[in-house]
Structure 1
Amino acid sequence: MVFQGRDTLVHKLHDKQLQVFTNFLACFVKPEHLPPIPRTLAGLELKGDKLLTARDLYVGRVADRFRREHPKHHMLKPFLDQVLQGYIACGEYLQRKLPLESMTLQCLSAVDPIARGHSKTGHLLRELMEMLSKFLPADVDVQQEILQYGVDQSLPTFTDGEDAVSWWADVSDTGRYPAHSIVCVPWATD
C-alpha cells in the first residue's frame, strides 16, 4: 500500500470512512436519520424533514456566534441557505463516490482482531474466505476454522492500536488457522 504509513490499516478503512461520512452528515442531518448502516447512509435522501433547522446547522464557531448575536441580519438567511445547499451537494457527491456498500471493505474489517467473537464478524469472514477461496487449501474446513477462531481464548491478546499484521503473524505461527493465515499474513510483505 503506497499511501499508508508503517502499519497495514486496510482492515480499518470501511469503519473509518463510515465514521467520517456520518460525522460530516451530522453537520446538517438530524441524528435520528444517521444509523451507522452503509446501505441506509448510501441511499439517504438529503432533504426535507431529515435536515437540521437553520438554527441547528453547523456553521463553525465564529458564524454561530454571529447567528446568535444578529438573528435578524439580512445576510443571515441567504448565508445559511447557501451553507445548506453546499452541505447537500457535498453529501450527495460523497454518497456517489465513497464505497460505503463495498462488501470487500466490509469483509476486510472482519480481520481486525478487535472484531473477533462477534457473529457479524463470522459472517464477514465467511464472505471474505469465499472471495479468496481459490487461494485457500482445499483440505481446510473454513467454516469450522471461523467458528473456532471466534471463541478461541488461547490466542494472544490484542489491544486496539497494536499492529494487526504482527498479531496475525503470531496466530499463523500457532498453525491452527491456516485459511486465516493465508488471508491475513501476506499483508506483512511490502
Structure 2
Amino acid sequence: MAQVLRAAVAAACAGGLLSRLQAPVAMARAPPASQASRGVAGAVWALGRLNHVAIAVPDLEKARAFYRDVLGARVSEVSPLPEHGVSVVFVDLGNTKMELLHPLGSDSPIAGFLQKNKAGGMHHVCLEVDDIKAAVRDLKEKKIRSLSDEAKIGAHGKPVIFLHPKDCGGVLVELEQA
C-alpha cells in the first residue's frame, strides 16, 4: 500500500495530478502483501499515513470552540510554535488529525495566507515518511523543491519539511518523520 501511496504523491507532485481532480482517475490496486513488504526496487524511504490536514484560521479560539463544542471533537490546548511563526491546535479525529493554524506575529507565513484568504482555509496536508532524510535526498534528485534546505522540528517534536506547492499540483505538502 505504501508503494501505491508513494507513487500517487510522486505523480501528483511531478505531473500536477492534484489540480486535475475533476477528471476520472483509475485507482491502482495494492500489490500483494509479500510484494508490499519488500517495497519498491531501489527505494530507500516509504510513504506512510496521512498525519493531518492543516487549516489556517483567523480566530483560533473560535475555531477551537467550534470543533470542541459544536462537533464534539477532542481538541488540544493552544501551542505556540515561535520557530514556525504559528500557534496550533490539534483536533483529534481518531484516524487522523486536523491542525488549526493561527499566525504568531506579523512575520508568520500564516499571516500572509490569511491576508489572501480572510476567512481562512486549507493550508497544507501532512504525510508521514519512514526516513525523512532519504525522502528529502530522493525528492531533490527528482527536482521536487522544498521550502527549506533541511528538515526542522515540527509541532509533534519530529523532523518535518514542506514541499513547494508548484511542484505538487498546487498543494503545500508537509512530510513528517514517522
TM-score band w.r.t. shorter chain: under 0.3
Q: Which has the larger radius of gyration?
A: 1
Structure with more strand by fraction = 2
TM-score after normalising by structure 2 = 0.24
Structure with more helix by fraction = 1
